[in-house]
Structure 1
Amino acid sequence: MSKARLDTLQSWYADDQHDKIVEAIEQLPESERDYEVVGHYGRALNNLGRYTEALQQLLSVEHQGIQDATWNWRIGYSYFYLHQWEKALSAFEQFDRLEPGDADVNKYIEACSDFMVRQAAAIKEIARVPFRERDFSQFWETSDYADKSYVEAPPTAEMIASIEEELGYKLPADYIWLMQQQNGGVPVNTCFPTAVSTSWAEDHVAITGIMGIGREKDYSLGGSLGSRFMQEEWGYPPFGVVLCDCPSAGHDVIMLDYRVCGRDGEPAVVHVDQEAGYWVTFLAPNFATFITGLVNEEVFDTSEQDKLHDLDKVKYAQFSSLLQSLCEKAAGIERIEAVIRNICTRIVDGKGYFAFHADELSMLMYDIQFWLYTGSNPEVTRAHYLAEYEKMIAFAQGFSTGGYAPDFVSGWLDERIKQGAIVDRAGVLSFTAVAREQLVNKLTAIESGLGD
């Protein structure tokens, strides 16, 4: 391939246009795909998550690449994300022999070694006590929330077949068996140790609950907040099934990953991080290993430090420029910033962390943000407000919850409209005069209770 064309491929790589690289190379005759072109092809396939195809291409030039550090990096990457740790480790170690001291390669070497140790321990544990012979009588937490949001009736054969057809994947046999004991819920142990850091923690991920097989509950595979919803509305990758939601309220999930095994095989369990560009972190080779590897949150308990951090944030962190501007224009409450900080301090005191959900104080914060925003933007529509909402607190720097669940905000809005507190006039939303007065009176009462 000419230098100009190679430069174009490199430019596309720099712009993350890996699909263009694949398309261009696939249009070339086999006779024109030399070692360098195959390297570009393999790298692009890796970056598109097509690891099996990348591996096939890179292996076709193995005799030329075995002494090339770059080739070893690329094939090690393929093996790593195909969960073939020994082969990945061998490739990365060869890279290190050819070009010692690369920090990224050293991280992969450490991760491969750690995964191999963990996997060997997990296999030994499953062999010691087979999955279906374990005592799951204390596995599930009993709570009204779990019953309302997760727990379905035991799945029938017809329901299992229907959900599998809808999702396009055969569900793991051990998952089906466990759901036949209790169909979804919140486990007592909600943390899974990891070999690498994630958006949740340096050494583990956490789950909120495990989705059951059904469609009745919000957090079931076919429910309103289930697997298809998370993929279609939140953009999670279509390589499997969303199995567990996480405490981030949508910004990371646990998935069954069928890329290696195919739609009818035994999927791995992975963590997918939306905030990091849907970054995938391997957790376990199968469902049974994932379940038996769950540990109690007390093992990683940092709640006291987290609460102190969030208390400090809500008391002293700087407001976003948008929220600060809206507060300065607020009519009727002189110390609105202090009122907001007071309410949010009470939220952190109650929850142990800073987040808005569907509780009374969170609903009040939704009211305040809408009141502030519409006070300066009287012609706001639903779509416009929901788009602007995240800029006030949710994704702000400093005074921020660090994320939010859109369903909570739209649910609050629907509830206020249903109550008649917010009216929709030709698409324009606003509080009624009565609702506005009631809110200002409530905030005035809070303000009057504040010290100097």
Structure 2
Amino acid sequence: MDQTLIEQLNQWHEEDEHQRIVDSLLAIPEEEREYEVVSRMARAYNNLGLYEEALNQFEKISEAGQHDPLWHYRVGFALYHLKRYEDAAQAFSTSDKLEAGDQHTELWLKWSLQKAEKQQRQERRMATRREAAMESRGSGAEEVPFSNMSLVDFWDDSEYARNSYLSEPPTDELITSIEEELGYKLPSSYILLMKQQNGGIPRNTCFLTEEPTSWAEDHIAITGILGIGREKRYSLCGDLGSRFMIEEWGYPDIGVVICDCPSAGHDVVMLDYRACGRDGEPEVIHIDQEDDYEITFLAENFEAFISGLVSEEEFDTSEEDKEADLYKVAQGEFSPLLGELCGQVTEVENIEQKIRSICTQIVEEKGHFSFHADELSYLMYDVQFWLYTKSYPDSSRERYLAIYEKMIAFGGEFGQCGYAPGWITEWLDRRMHEVRIVEEDGRLRFTDQFAVEVVKQLREA
């Protein structure tokens, strides 16, 4: 492949311009696409989320790729995101055997094995549930729901709950209408609870899990329980109800969203009808949009879920989390990019220690390691911008916003495991409005005066 093209492809890859990579390589006649061309094209499809197309491309060079650890790694990446976890584990395992010791490969292999095991448990459980559902059809009367549980103090009364969740008790006609709209028969235990109070926020909002989720290592949290109706925003057929979450947020159409969560849409609790059919007794599951709609089993039925809710006070780990973050900012290894940028600094002695000192103050004040819109966070936004543009003075707004996460946000040991892009654009817009950052010929930089101020603050940290 032409060296000029290779350099251009590398630049586009760094700038997340993956469609440009695909378009450029597709312009090469198919009969002239050598191994490296097809491999790079498949990688770009992976980065675009087009995993099936990526696998199609990898298949074209499969024979030549058998002894290439990178080929197996990229195939594993595609298979993982297609939820073919056993196949992904095999691909990563082969990559690891061909080139042992690569941390990324080992991590993806670990995740694939964990997901594969979880997937197998889920399939076994669903098979058992299907068999039990077949055997129980037509077999006697059901027990009265919640006969062993008092619901007297179940709900938490608040103006927000009344305004957003609570409706009048549902009539039988309304229940039938909602079931027809959703396409599922609602559990008798849910209907009984809604006739006692139709939607709201329970006093206990946490549920223990055997596996970690995006919320916590050992539990999930809910914000409220959706009622039977259409009028309230958080009701089954309301503006932010079950159909909205499935049709607009992309949640799988396997049942009914029954609870919203504190993540504001990024995870939900659902009734899962896959094993029992649309008229059966559904399981309760947690679905995590942030983890590619990962499904975690919660309870065998709605009554068991309600009975298992516990207080959030049982999971108060704020002090432990603060201590862990204090250790992280004091001892955690910098990301490769942040380490490289700090290595170029001559204006400030012990620059790494200065950064750790500022971040320690942030953790002490907030109790956790994150940047928002406060004074110290803005200082760290300034420091990162100064460091990066000092080494890469040709940076545009787009390039800087794309590279930002590789310094601290997703910085490995010395990292935050995430960030809200809106905070960064808000800081950047504010600095430009203040004329502390200026744009010249598409390149961003601090004014000389403000750069001096940032250096002064760093020295005094």
Which TM-score tier does this pair reach, normalised by the shorter chain? Answer: 0.5 to 0.7
Aligned equivalents of 1:369, 1:178: Cα separation in 2: 55
Aligned equivalents of 1:417, 1:170: Cα separation in 2: 53
Q: CA offsets, 1:117-171, max 9 Å, x none?
A: xxxxxx99833347xx54356466x9xxx89xx97486799xx99xx9xx97889
Q: RMSD of the alignment, in Å?
A: 5.3
**What is the aligned counterpart of 1:254 among 263, 268, 277?**
268
Pair 1:205-2:202 in alignment? no
Q: How does 1:257-268 map to 2 (within 5 A)?
A: 257-260=271-274, 268=283
User: 2:147: which partner in 1?
Assistant: 127
Q: CA deviation at 1:77?
A: 4.7
TM-score normalized by structure 2?
Answer: 0.52
User: 2:129: which partner in 1?
Assistant: 84
Q: CA deviation at 1:177?
A: 7.8
Contact 1:230 1:242 in 2 (8 A): no
Pair 1:386-2:401 in alignment? yes
Q: CA deviation at 1:299?
A: 1.9
User: 1:356: which partner in 2?
Assistant: 371
Contact 1:422 1:432 in 2 (8 A): yes
Pair 1:445-2:447 in alignment? no
Identity score, percent: 38
Aligned equivalents of 1:178, 1:338: Cα separation in 2: 59
Query: Could you say if the C-alpha distance between residues 20 and 342 of structure 1 is closer, same or farther in structure 2, counting changes exceeding 3 Å?
Result: closer
Aligned equivalents of 1:177, 1:416: Cα separation in 2: 54
Aligned equivalents of 1:181, 1:271: Cα separation in 2: 19
**What is the aligned counterpart of 2:382 among 367, 370, 374?**
367
Query: Could you say if the C-alpha distance between residues 134 and 211 of structure 1 is closer, same or farther in structure 2, counting changes exceeding 3 Å?
Result: closer
Query: Could you say if the C-alpha distance between residues 127 and 78 of structure 1 is closer, same or farther in structure 2, counting changes exceeding 3 Å?
Result: same
Contact 1:333 1:440 in 2 (8 A): no
Structure 2: gaps spanning 5 or more residues: 1-50, 57-81, 86-117, 134-142
Q: How many residues align?
A: 322
**What is the aligned counterpart of 1:346 among 357, 361, 374?**
361
Query: Could you say if the C-alpha distance between residues 168 and 348 of structure 1 is closer, same or farther in structure 2, counting changes exceeding 3 Å?
Result: farther
Q: CA deviation at 1:307?
A: 2.0
Contact 2:261 2:269 in 1 (8 A): no
Q: CA deviation at 1:311?
A: 0.8
Q: CA offsets, 1:30-59, max 9 Å, x none?
A: xxxxxxxxxxxxxxxx9679xxxxxxxxxx
Aligned-partner residue type, residue 362 of structure 1? S
Q: CA offsets, 1:310-352, max 9 Å, x none?
A: 1111012111110111122346433432222112112221232
User: 2:91: which partner in 1?
Assistant: none
Q: CA deviation at 1:287?
A: 5.9
Contact 1:211 1:244 in 2 (8 A): yes
Query: Could you say if the C-alpha distance between residues 262 and 364 of structure 1 is closer, same or farther in structure 2, counting changes exceeding 3 Å?
Result: farther
Aligned equivalents of 2:457, 2:402: Cα separation in 1: 31
Aligned equivalents of 2:349, 2:247: Cα separation in 1: 43
User: 1:403: which partner in 2?
Assistant: 418
TM-score normalized by structure 1?
Answer: 0.52
Query: Could you say if the C-alpha distance between residues 264 and 179 of structure 1 is closer, same or farther in structure 2, counting changes exceeding 3 Å?
Result: farther
**What is the aligned counterpart of 2:392 among 377, 382, 406?**
377
Q: CA deviation at 1:394?
A: 2.1
Structure 1: gaps spanning 5 or more residues: 1-15, 22-45, 50-72, 89-122
Q: How does 1:289-328 map to 2 (within 5 A)?
A: 290=305, 293-328=308-343
